[in-house]
């Protein structure tokens, strides 16, 4: 195994001669999530109208730790650790998992894109399509020619005596250059891209389904932290801040005078508990966690000011969701119920996978959401 690669899990095909459905033309749906420090793949099929897990794979790299020691790289926060290696890594995962499908959905991070909710006057569908293109220029800070625009009608405000009501439109803009990069990566692995969407949209699909409960979904990622509000089944707000899981690793390394690799392992093994065990760590870790919790509270307050609806729960997903003590810390600071993500709640999978699903299931939220996109 390459020194910089850690295969956490691959296909559950322990006997492909028995469980290889591909020879019978089983239609499957593939989602690929290219993150800063990992690549995740999920493949689903349908069984009696329900999604069924066929394959999953996670490849995790410690190479992102090298970026933390490179000041020039740290100033360029958009750098993705896999870079030109993404194609080769995806090829390895697909081969390891014995995946035969030739089309995939992929997701791009919110920090490289743009999302907002627009309030527009009541109008018919044809007028709305034209209005979105026109109004988008007022919201998006760069030329629309550089972007791919997508939108979705997510609701409307009721009419009053003084107002005819408004349509609520979710506007998403993704740089064309970024889309081209993902399309090229897929093509070089022998895949065709069916759709590209925001990571938050994919995660929302996997974690929330049609649940109307006002909810925060939180991803403390390696590169950034993404805070989103989902309400009445629709994504309403998604915002990223630069304080991230890798920042926690870096300050742990400096505070304890240990290597970045050991700091990363310590963070995963003991999490927030290390603050109690190593008192000198509190002064450097707590400010970072407070930045994240304060940002969450600001987003919650913003949503409440617009809708008067109270957030009822927070769902953590991604790798940091498993960090010991983190959920309890946020629950105490925000005074809100914390739920661990379970993107497999609507998916059929072998019972023998239950232990590993509990351990790493939340990390597959985006990949599963991508695979679910074409199944709805």
Indicate left, alpha or beta for 322 from its phi (over 0: left) and psi (-120 to 50: alpha). Answer: alpha
Confirm if 51 and 347 have CB atoms less than 8 A apart. yes
**Structure confidence at residue 75 as a pLDDT band (50, 70, 90):** very low
**Structure confidence at residue 88 as a pLDDT band (50, 70, 90):** confident
**Structure confidence at residue 25 as a pLDDT band (50, 70, 90):** low
Tell me: the pLDDT tens digits for 354-363?
999 988 899 9
CA distances from 206 to 167, 232, 248 (A): 26, 15, 27
In the prediction, which pLDDT does 186 show?
93
Topology of the domain covering 114-174: Dna Ligase; domain 1 (3.30.1490)
Q: Read off the tokens for 128.
A: 């709305």
Nearest 10 degrees: CA dihedral of 262, 265, 266, 267?
120
pLDDT at 219 over 80: yes
Tell me: the pLDDT tens digits for 269-314?
888 877 666 666 777 888 999 999 999 999 999 999 989 999 999 9
CA distances from 225 to 109, 294, 355 (A): 11, 12, 27
Confirm if 237 and 117 have CB atoms less than 8 A apart. yes
Domain 5-113+175-363 -> CATH class: alpha beta
Q: Read off the tokens for 220.
A: 């403390």
Instruction: Give CATH 3.30.1490.300 domain extents, the chain.
Output: 114-174
Q: For residue 98, give the nearest of 142, 143, 152, 57 by alpha carbon.
A: 57
Instruction: Give CATH 3.30.420.40 domain extents, the chain.
Output: 5-113+175-363
In the prediction, which pLDDT does 213 show?
96
pLDDT at 17 over 60: no
In three-state form (DSSP H/G/I as H, E/B as E, the rest C), the secondary structure along the chain is: CCCCEEEEECCCCCCHHHHCHHHHCCCCEEEEEECCCEEEEEEEEEECCEEEEEEEEEEEECCHHHHHCCHHHHHCCCCCCCHHHHHHHHHHHHHHHCCCCCEEEEEECHHHCEEEEEEEECCCHHHHHHHHHHHHHHHCCCCHHHEEEEEEEEEEECCECCECCEEEEEEEEEEHHHHHHHHHHHHHCCCEEEEEEEHHHHHHHHHHCCCCCCEEEEEECCCCEEEEEEECCEEEEEEEECCCHHHHHHHHHHHHCCCHHHHHHHHHHHCCHHHHHCHHHHHHHHHHHHHHHHHHHHHHHHHHHHHCCCCCEEEEECHHHHCCCHHHHHHHHHCCEEEECCCCCCCECCHHHHHHHHHHHHHHHHHHHHHHHCCC
In the prediction, which pLDDT does 21 show?
36
**Structure confidence at residue 62 as a pLDDT band (50, 70, 90):** low
């Amino acid at each position: 195994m390459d020194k910089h690669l850690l295969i956490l899990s691959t296909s559950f095909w322990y006997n492909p001669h028995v469980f290889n459905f591909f020879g019978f033309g089983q239609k499957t749906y593939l989602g690929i999530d290219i993150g800063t420090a990992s690549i995740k793949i999920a493949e689903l099929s349908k069984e009696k109208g329900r999604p069924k897990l066929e394959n999953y794979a996670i490849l995790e790299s410690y190479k992102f730790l090298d970026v933390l020691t490179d000041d020039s790289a740290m100033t360029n926060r958009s750098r993705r650790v896999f870079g030109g290696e993404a194609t080769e890594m995806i090829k390895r995962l697909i081969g390891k998992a014995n995946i035969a499908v030739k089309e995939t959905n992929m997701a791009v991070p919110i920090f490289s894109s743009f999302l907002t909710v627009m309030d527009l006057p009541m109008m018919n569908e044809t007028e709305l399509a034209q209005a979105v293109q026109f109004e988008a220029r007022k919201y998006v800070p760069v030329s629309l020619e550089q972007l791919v625009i997508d939108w979705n009608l997510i609701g409307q405000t009721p009419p009053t005596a003084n107002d005819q009501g408004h349509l609520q439109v979710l506007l998403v803009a993704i740089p064309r250059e970024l889309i081209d990069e993902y399309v090229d990566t897929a093509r070089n692995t022998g895949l065709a891209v069916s759709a590209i969407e925001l990571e938050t949209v994919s995660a929302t699909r996997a974690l929330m389904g049609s649940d109307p409960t006002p909810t925060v979904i939180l991803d403390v990622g390696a590169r950034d932290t993404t805070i989103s509000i989902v309400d009445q089944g629709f994504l309403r707000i998604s915002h990223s801040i630069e304080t991230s899981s890798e920042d926690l690793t870096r300050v742990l390394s400096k505070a304890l005078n240990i290597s970045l690799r050991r700091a990363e392992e310590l963070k995963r093994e003991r999490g927030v508990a290390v603050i109690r065990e190593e008192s000198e760590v509190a002064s450097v870790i707590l400010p970072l966690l407070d930045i994240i919790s304060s940002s969450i509270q600001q987003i919650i307050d913003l949503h409440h000011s617009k809708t008067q609806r109270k957030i009822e729960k927070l769902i953590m997903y991604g790798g940091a969701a498993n960090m010991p003590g983190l959920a309890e810390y946020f629950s105490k600071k925000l005074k809100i119920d914390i739920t661990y993500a379970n993107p497999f709640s609507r998916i059929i999978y072998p019972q023998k996978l239950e232990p590993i699903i509990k351990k790493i299931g939340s990390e597959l939220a985006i990949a599963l959401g991508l695979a679910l996109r074409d199944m709805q």
